Amino acid sequence: MREVVIAANWKMHTTPADAGDLARTVASRTREPGVTRVICPPYVCLGPVRDALAEDHPDVAVGAQDVHHELTGAFTGEVSAPMLDGLATWVIVGHSERRRDAGETDALVAKKVGRALDAGLRPIVCVGERLADRDAGRAIDVVDTQIRGSLADVEAGRARDGGLVIAYEPV
């Protein structure tokens, strides 16, 4: 049976002041045998969430909401995989909002997947069609293209060994 993963993407909600309490509450109310739980707060809340979960809920993982495709450079406001060391063990890549709002392509998502795996992060690769694609009968083709493109640079064994997860999220 495949691993069941539930990831809570907090998007741009909460602050460092209240993130720890929220993480503890979520963790205490979502225990389910056989389910891997991941909380993905905003970057500024990664430390407080990690610290809040470490003592009472070490079985709940912390994930970042994105990662840059380069290791370093002049990329104002971006976060690289090495910067996440010690803060997160998972990372979301290819989220529909990043694809839509930041124009991220499957090729760029593939680079991010590689960086995540190189850093020992478990990537959650998001795929999903828009309503217009679904209505036009193109849902399977769109998702197939996203999966293939987002994993183009990743060897099958490496994806499996790195614990890569595909998240289907129709837009």
Is residue 95 part of the annotated active site? The answer reads yes
Name the active-site residue from 57, 68, 95, 104.
Answer: 95
HEC profile of the chain = CCCEEEEEECCCCCCHHHHHHHHHHHHHHCCCCCEEEEEECCHHHHHHHHHHHHHHCCCEEEEECCCCCCCCCCCCCCCCCHHHCCCCCEEEECCHHHHHHCCCCHHHHHHHHHHHHHCCCEEEEEECCCHHHHHCCCHHHHHHHHHHHHCCCCCHHHHHHCCCEEEECCC
Q: How far apart are CA 118 and CA 112, in angstroms?
A: 10
For residue 55, the model assigns a pLDDT of 86
Is residue 97 part of the annotated active site? The answer reads no
For residue 159, the model assigns a pLDDT of 65
For residue 158, the model assigns a pLDDT of 73
What is the chain's pLDDT, residue by residue, as a tens digit (171 residues)?
688 999 999 999 999 999 999 999 999 999 999 999 999 999 999 999 999 999 889 999 999 999 999 999 999 999 999 999 999 999 999 999 999 999 999 999 999 999 999 999 999 999 999 999 999 999 999 999 999 999 988 876 676 676 899 999 998
pTM score, whole prediction = 0.93
Q: How far apart are CA 10 and CA 144, in angstroms?
A: 27
